[in-house]
Structure 1
Amino acid sequence: MTVSPARRAAYDALLQVETQEAFANLALAAAVAEHGLDAQQAATATELVNGTARLMGTYDRIIARAARRELSTLEPAVVTVLRLSTHEQLSMRTPVHAAVDEAVNLGRIAVGHRVTGVINAIARKVGINDLSGWVQALSADEDELSALGTRTHHPRWIADVYDYLLGDDAEAGLLANNTPAVPTLVVRPGLVERDELSEPGLEPTPYSPFGFRRPGNPGGLKEVRQGRAGVQDEGSQLMAWLLALAPTTEEIADLGWLDLCAGPGGKAALLAGLARQRGGWLLASEKAPHRAELVRKAMARYPDRWQVITADGLAPAWQPRSFARVMADVPCTGIGSLRRRSESRWRRTEEQLEELVALQAGLLAQAWAATAEGGVLAYVTCSPHPLETVEQVQAFLDTHPEAELLDAPALLPDVPEAAHPDEPLMVQLWPHRHGTDAMFGALLRRGPST
């Protein structure tokens, strides 16, 4: 009995996601390298891993119902095999008998002969229905929000957020998270301009003047290999562009820019280029040493006018009011980037919000302390959750009368429907409307202290 290298690599990656809380993209990259997959095999493994991880919560409910037992009663390795088989049967349209045979072979080789019987029985029962039929059965007795989550393959609490903000458009917004994003790249200002790129297949981003989309491996583009371009979602590019466009006073023009939570470095590299074009410089701060190293690599092609430090944003390593422009792209639930982070919708929970919101408030306070009078702070998240976005900023404004909320959407006139539904001076982007992550951004300018 043999198992295809792509399927074995996918199994190894997903088992790490399940048992070690690994990130799917990193586990997949390691498995592809370990098994020496060619381009076609790697593409198959990518679909198996990302597709399975993206619908994992739905698949787990289907498997549990087919097995008539809780998944906790099965070994993690067996659950991983069954998830892969469920994805192949219900989303890849692999014939049931073929998917079951492959699951049994994989279980025998990866786990042992003793589990083949249970894998065979459960996988066959999964195949008695198609995905839409299973979804209909799972949602039959659910309330409206739970059914919305089931139909779109999201936990109820995420469906609730989208329903609150988007109303009748919520289902379209949630479904957009299930379509993998085409890799979006960004030029490094001052190193290469977008109109200099001539490779076939490049599609300029509609809103960011620095971005372009390119299917396939980003490393296939020589500008990426050279460090003159990098990978960055268009929404993230627009948040950096917002900070650069925001008006500041002339008196602080010679002050530097600060990226408070700079890892992994895409936004910092774009800010470094924008600062250099204006005669400025950038300090990029990152708490985690390995992420700080990624920031250094992202900016390495710039010869000067930047520095990376390993420092905690809650314990500043700089003097107060030292920067003309400050980027606070704070840690968040990440529910705005679900297209690219396939497993995160099932890993994040609503219970984690309280701790994250407290961290965000602390980082926002320190970012503000670093902002000079007349300077601007950009508060950014890759989450649309009100507690992490509008309510966080409004709570800050209530206690800081010297802070002026700028009209951020007005700085992006070519981006339609960019205003947040609850606060028209803040920006909220959406995958189904803008083709970006659901990025949030607010601009705060420091006025004279009272």
Structure 2
Amino acid sequence: MTTAREVAFDVISAVRSTDAYANLLLPREIERAGLSSADAGLATELTYGTLRRIGTYDAIIAAAAGRAADAIDPPVLDALRLGAHQLLATRVPPHAAVNETVELVRQAAGRRATGFANAVMRRVSECDEAEWLAQIEADARSDDEKLAVRYAHPVWVIRALRRALAAEGRAEELTALLDADNAPPAVTMTALPGIADIPEGMTPTTQSPIGFRLAGGDPEPLIRSSQGALRVQDEGSQLAALALSRATPVRAGERWLDLCAAPGGKTAVLAAEAHLHGASLEANELSPARARLVRTSVAAVPGDVPVSEEDGRTRAGRGVYDRILVDAPCTGLGALRRRPEARWRKTPGDVPELTSLQAELLAAAVQALSPGGIVAYVTCSPHLAETTGVVAEVERQFPGRLEQLDARAVISDVSLTPVDLPAPADGSGRAQLWPHRHGTDAMSITLLRRVADQT
């Protein structure tokens, strides 16, 4: 029988070795193992807690082992990370954490590595996390390195987040943001507008008019019973979709396009909004596997939502549209609460390639807009190169042909309660949501309208 620790270890190892996504793999592994509700909860905490703090645990393990973490055999290191999390951040008894970690090492790497694992784990158990952090921070070369260890974020991510906050004059909120990134998010759900209502007894979200929070438990039965009309979706993602659909009144017969649609949460909201107002929606996703997710997401909405499988840069040119969503591939630095491994997976070297792709996708969408049409450029990242930098580049490509709408005002109009959205220093209309301030992913939303051609 597979245990909760073994499930967590298998997922952590897959994330490292195959770039698997924990949020997709873990539920499958829990179901395959037939874990009880309590053990499923333990596996979830062990998996996400370990992945979230890999940088911190690697520094502690290196100090305890007397060698760099990357010099340790990867399967052994995975087990030690999981063991360190149990010792330093859970109520698992130390002897159980040590013994179970040594057993995982024996299964993964053989008996030859068990003595080393036992020695490292016993050394880790001699101090609590605060004592280990004090030791490691004493050797840090900069304040940012200290923050990196304490808050388990790479230095380059810390600097990017600081710059993004500083663009709003709020750099002092950095540690609050880093703390929020390390807090597991509450389960937030959507009731697709015009298709389903928020169930009785559920707590509505404070900002999105179509969102609600579960009182607890597994959302899957609710999703199944509603045939997908009720679905899990971050409140920031809901607001991003509604910012496009409700930026201006919808005229019957409008054509909409979701250019980079997977996994389909925003697509489903747009499909419901389009159905409600007599518009039509098309979707596109390059990956066939991810396109299947989009088709599943829109299945609850009456009517047909065609999903193409093309490069968005060419797909946009096969029509003229009144509203286009460009939910661009990005670093994902705004979703670190839900995808903790993303902080260790991306590097600064990924940013130039991503921003080039983002600019090309946005430019293609602008070309496909009808006069007066609106494109929502959305990233689940606050990195300024991916947000203001990309928009500025595309505006330069279309001089005098684009105007920015005030996305902050649109979101405030959509929201059930006032939303704290300060104006960026660049004077743009961009709206930036934050985990520590809004309880959402750090979603960036820019609305661009194509100016009608002059005659």
- Per the normalisation by structure 1, the TM-score is 0.94
Query: 3-state DSSP class of the match of 1:441?
Result: strand
Q: 1:26, CA displacement in angstroms?
A: 2.4
Tell me the residue number matched to 2:268: 269
Tell me the residue number matched to 1:421: 424
Query: Per the alignment, do residues 55 and 332 of structure 1 end up closer, same or farther by CA in structure 2, a change over 3 Å counting?
Result: same
Aligned residues: 441
Q: 1:182, CA displacement in angstroms?
A: 1.0
Q: 1:157, CA displacement in angstroms?
A: 1.1
Given that 2:76 and 2:113 are in contact with CA atoms closer than 8 Å, whether structure 1 keeps it comes out as: yes
Given that 2:2 and 2:33 are in contact with CA atoms closer than 8 Å, whether structure 1 keeps it comes out as: no
> Unaligned regions of 5+ residues in structure 1, if any?
none
2:21 pairs, out of 11, 23, 26, with: 23
Let me know the Cα RMSD of the aligned residues.
1.8
Q: How do 1:44-443 residues align onto structure 2 when only pairs under 5 Å count?
A: 44-140=42-138, 141-164=140-163, 165=165, 166-194=170-198, 197-198=199-200, 200=201, 202-214=202-214, 215-221=216-222, 226-247=227-248, 253-316=252-315, 318-320=317-319, 322-400=320-398, 401-413=400-412, 414-422=417-425, 423=427, 425-443=429-447
Distance across 2 between alignment mates of 1:220 and 1:25: 18
Counterpart amino acid of 1:380? V
Query: Per the alignment, do residues 318 and 162 of structure 1 end up closer, same or farther by CA in structure 2, a change over 3 Å counting?
Result: closer
Given that 1:237 and 1:267 are in contact with CA atoms closer than 8 Å, whether structure 2 keeps it comes out as: yes
Given that 1:420 and 1:428 are in contact with CA atoms closer than 8 Å, whether structure 2 keeps it comes out as: no
Bigger drift between 416-425 and 364-373 goes to 416-425
Distance across 2 between alignment mates of 1:13 and 1:439: 27
- 1:198-232 CA-to-partner distances (Å, cap 9, x unmatched) read 1x4x2211110111111332203156651111111
Q: 1:315, CA displacement in angstroms?
A: 1.4
Distance across 2 between alignment mates of 1:147 and 1:37: 38
Given that 1:276 and 1:305 are in contact with CA atoms closer than 8 Å, whether structure 2 keeps it comes out as: no
Distance across 1 between alignment mates of 2:364 and 2:53: 38
- 1:306-346 CA-to-partner distances (Å, cap 9, x unmatched) read 221112101126535x1111100000000000000021111
Q: 1:136, CA displacement in angstroms?
A: 2.1
Distance across 2 between alignment mates of 1:51 and 1:209: 31
Q: 1:424, CA displacement in angstroms?
A: 5.1
Identical columns (%): 43
Q: 1:367, CA displacement in angstroms?
A: 1.0
Given that 2:76 and 2:108 are in contact with CA atoms closer than 8 Å, whether structure 1 keeps it comes out as: no
Counterpart amino acid of 1:137? Q
- 1:235-265 CA-to-partner distances (Å, cap 9, x unmatched) read 0100111001212796xx5231100000111
Q: 1:365, CA displacement in angstroms?
A: 0.6
Q: 1:370, CA displacement in angstroms?
A: 1.4
> Unaligned regions of 5+ residues in structure 2, if any?
none
Distance across 2 between alignment mates of 1:316 and 1:187: 30
Distance across 2 between alignment mates of 1:118 and 1:391: 48
Query: 3-state DSSP class of the match of 2:311?
Result: coil
Query: Per the alignment, do residues 283 and 302 of structure 1 end up closer, same or farther by CA in structure 2, a change over 3 Å counting?
Result: same
Given that 2:151 and 2:178 are in contact with CA atoms closer than 8 Å, whether structure 1 keeps it comes out as: yes
Query: Per the alignment, do residues 114 and 266 of structure 1 end up closer, same or farther by CA in structure 2, a change over 3 Å counting?
Result: same
- 1:168-199 CA-to-partner distances (Å, cap 9, x unmatched) read 111001110001111111011221122xx11x
Given that 1:249 and 1:375 are in contact with CA atoms closer than 8 Å, whether structure 2 keeps it comes out as: no
- Per the normalisation by structure 2, the TM-score is 0.93
Given that 1:323 and 1:372 are in contact with CA atoms closer than 8 Å, whether structure 2 keeps it comes out as: yes
Distance across 2 between alignment mates of 1:392 and 1:222: 36
Given that 1:227 and 1:301 are in contact with CA atoms closer than 8 Å, whether structure 2 keeps it comes out as: yes
Given that 1:257 and 1:324 are in contact with CA atoms closer than 8 Å, whether structure 2 keeps it comes out as: yes
Given that 1:383 and 1:438 are in contact with CA atoms closer than 8 Å, whether structure 2 keeps it comes out as: yes
Query: Runs (4+) of structure 1 moved beyond 4 Å?
Result: 222-225
